[in-house]
Structure 1
Amino acid sequence: MARRALVAYGTKNGSTQGIAEAVAAALRTHTVETEVHPASEVEDVSPYDLVVLGGALYAGRWHRDAVRFARRHRAALLERAVWLFSSGPLDASATQRDIPPVRGARRAAAHLDARRHVTFGGRLEAGAQGRMARMIVESGRGGDYRDFDRIAAWATGIAEECAAEAQLR
């Protein structure tokens, strides 16, 4: 029986959406029926067996749409398998070591009994919204630090974990 997954995300400049879509693509290759939606637009998580929630990092904070999603759907999410990710470091640090979740993501993980959290590198390029984002790009510290092989491997781990659990039932 195919499992249904939701990948929800909070993003400002699209980097986290790209990661969410990559997670969904990897899940689909393992026969997990997957939908991707902005966290702010999800009204009901009951159709899904598992949920992956991602949030962009801004000034050491998890994106407010991810925080609000976790709070709004807490009761239903406690009945599902949940994984979390953050995106944001504008350097190679996320591929070199595990980066602990920021406060908002850490609280969501605890309140939702999330299986795992991971931080992926982010992307910030010309045309970014926000004064600080533009200043970062103009100073030459922008770029794309997303590691799509690592993202796919993480999502494959989710699919494999779900498949193993399904066999035990």
Structure 2
Amino acid sequence: MRILVTIASRHGGTWGIGEVVASTLRERGHDAELRAPEDVTDLTGFDAVVLGSAVYVAHWMPAARDLADRLGAQLAERPVWLLSSGLATQPAASANSPHEIRDLVERIGARGHRSFHGRLDRSVLSFTERATISAARAREGDHRDMTAVARWAEQIADALAPVPA
């Protein structure tokens, strides 16, 4: 199957998660293409989609939300999985619970949403981002579990595997 993996990422941490998803799908025999949401104008030619975003102050990034709004009808026509990546030191369920996810899952019929811990490098953050992170008492470092990301992508690959006739 041809699968679009589209990831909104401000500082590259969530993009890295998307790279693992796309690579794992390829290893499992699918044709997976990784693109930023702002580079996606149409879903024609894709059989399934993995749509993800970094989470900032309990919201997905605007580029991911915009893609879901622009292409919602097309997303609803194919299997879709959602992923979020947020504050590295908070429990994944609470740190990566963007307000728009429940509505988005229902609107497009997503097969699921998975939250992953993120990566925090204060040196690349703006002043406002550093203030927000300080208030949240987040720990610096790479807290992404790429093994868990790959396992999740394997589940997607298996769900999309052709059923023998």
What is the rounded CA distance, in whole Å, between the counterparts of 2:67 and 2:52 in structure 1?
Answer: 10
Q: Give the one of 14, 20, 23 matched to 2:21.
A: 23
- 5+ residue gaps in structure 1? none
Q: How far 1:131 sits from its partner (Å)?
A: 2.0
Match of 1:93 in 2: 91
Match of 2:45 in 1: 47
What is the rounded CA distance, in whole Å, between the counterparts of 1:50 and 1:140 in structure 2?
Answer: 34
What is the rounded CA distance, in whole Å, between the counterparts of 1:110 and 1:128 in structure 2?
Answer: 35
What SS is found at the alignment partner of 2:38?
helix
Q: How far 1:93 sits from its partner (Å)?
A: 2.2
What is the rounded CA distance, in whole Å, between the counterparts of 1:160 and 1:68 in structure 2?
Answer: 29
What is the rounded CA distance, in whole Å, between the counterparts of 1:160 and 1:130 in structure 2?
Answer: 40
Match of 1:66 in 2: 64
Q: How far 1:73 sits from its partner (Å)?
A: 0.5
What is the rounded CA distance, in whole Å, between the counterparts of 1:125 and 1:99 in structure 2?
Answer: 17
What is the rounded CA distance, in whole Å, between the counterparts of 1:45 and 1:70 in structure 2?
Answer: 11
Match of 2:155 in 1: 157
| TM-score, length of structure 2 as denominator length | 0.89
How many residues matched? 162
The amino acid of 1:112's aligned partner reads I
Aligned-pair identity in percent equals 36
Q: How far 1:128 sits from its partner (Å)?
A: 2.0
**Residue 57, structure 1, aligned to residue 20, structure 2:** no
Using a 3 Å threshold, how does the CA distance of structure 1 residues 125 and 66 change in structure 2: closer, same or farther? Answer: same
| TM-score, length of structure 1 as denominator length | 0.87
The amino acid of 2:98's aligned partner reads V
- 5+ residue gaps in structure 2? none
